[in-house]
Amino acid sequence: MDSKYLQILEFPKILKRLSQYTAFSAGRDLALALKPSPDLEEAQRRQRETSEARKLLEVKADLSLGGARDVRPLLKSAGLGATLSPADLLDVRATLISGRTLKRAITRLAAQFPLLAAKASRIEECAHVVAEIGRCLNDRGEVVDAASQALARIRHELKEAHERLLDKLNRIVASPANASFLQEPLVTQRGGRYVIPLKADFKGRIPGVVHDQSASGATLFIEPLATVELNNRWRELQLEEEREIQRILAALSALVAEEGSFIERTVEVLAELDLAFAKARYADEIQGVEPHLVPFKVARAKGRKAASSVQHPGSTIQLRKARHPLLDPATVVPIDVHLDDDYFILVITGP
C-alpha cells in the first residue's frame, strides 16, 4: 500500500498507540515499523497470532516481559572487545531470564497456542551465561568474592591490611603523648590515604607526609611515617582488587560476545512476542474483533458495464458496526460498510 494512503488513514498514529502497549524498546521498534501485508496467508497468520495472544493473556494474566532489555548494542560492543559494566551484564542476564521464563510458560501450552509456542521455542536460554553472570555478580552489580579464588584472597588480605592500618593510626591518635598536637583525636582520609589532623603550630612533632590542610591553615592532615608502609600495602591491594575485578568483567564480556548470536536471537523473539502481546492488549482496549479475511475473487466485468473496460477487482468487504480506532468509542457512531459483486466503489463526501 502506498505510504500516502497510510498517512491519510492515520495508520502511523495507530501504530504509535500500539507501541505504547509494548514492554521494551525492541518491541516498540517493531510496532512502529509494522506495515499491512498484501499476502492473505501472512495477514491471516498475524490475526491468529493476535487472537492467540489475547486468549493467552486471559489464561495467564501475569505473563510479562519483565526484565527484558534490548541488549543488542551491548552485544555489539562486547563483540568488538569492550568490557561491559556490571549493570550491562545484569541487563543481559535479566533479558535471558525473561526469555527463559516466557519460553517455559508458553511452550507448556503449545496445544492451545501453537503460533506463540513456535515463536517462544526459538528463544535461546543460554543457561551457562545466566549462571556465570549470577555467580560473579550480586543483584547490586557488585563482583562477589566467589567470582574467583584470586579475588577472594585479595579481599581477605585487603581486610587484614586495612585493620592493621587503622589499628596503628588509632593507637597514634589515642596516645597521651600526641594529644596536644592534634586538632581532634580522629582518623580521616585525604586523596585515598588515611591521615590524622595535626595542628599547624606543631608541624614536625609527629613525623609524617602532609597531604592537605584546612581552609584556615590551622590544621595539617598528615600521614604518619609509621603508617606509610601500611598505607602503601593497603593501596596496592586496592589496585590489585580493581585489576582482578576488571579481569572478571572482561571474561564475562567475552562470554557474552561468544554467545552474542544466540542472545540476539532471544532479543528478537522477545520483541516479536512483545508485539503480539501489545496487539492483544490494544485489541482489548478498543474492543477489536478478529476479521474474517477472504481472497480476492477473479476480476470480471459486471452488469451493464460488461462491455466496458471497467472491471470489478474481486474484492469483498463487509464491515459491521465499524469505527475508526482513534475516535472516542463513547461518542463515535459505528457504521456498516458492504461492498460485493454488485459494486466496488464507495464515495465518501463531507468536510
Tens digits of residue pLDDT in 233-250: 999 999 999 999 999 999
Q: Is the pLDDT of residue 298 over 80?
A: no
pLDDT, mean of residues 10-19: 95
CA 104, 106, 108, 114 torsion-angle sign: negative
Q: What is the mean pLDDT of the chain?
A: 92
Boundaries of CATH 1.10.1420.10 in the chain? 3-126+259-285, 149-240
CATH 3.30.413.10 fits domain 3-126+259-285? no
- Distance CA(95)–CA(259), nearest Å, equals 14
At 244-267, the pLDDT tens digits run: 999 999 999 999 999 999 999 999
Look at the domain 149-240 and name its fold.
Answer: MutS, DNA mismatch repair protein; Chain A, domain 3 (1.10.1420)
In what helix (H) or strand (E) does residue 195 lie, and over which residues does it extend?
strand 193-199
pLDDT, mean of residues 283-310: 73
Top mean-pLDDT range of 24-33, 171-180, 207-216: 24-33
Phi, psi dihedral angles at 224 (to 5 degrees): -55, 140
pLDDT, mean of residues 213-222: 92
Q: In 3D, which of 137, 128, 198, 212 has the Cα closest to residue 169?
A: 198
pLDDT, mean of residues 329-350: 83
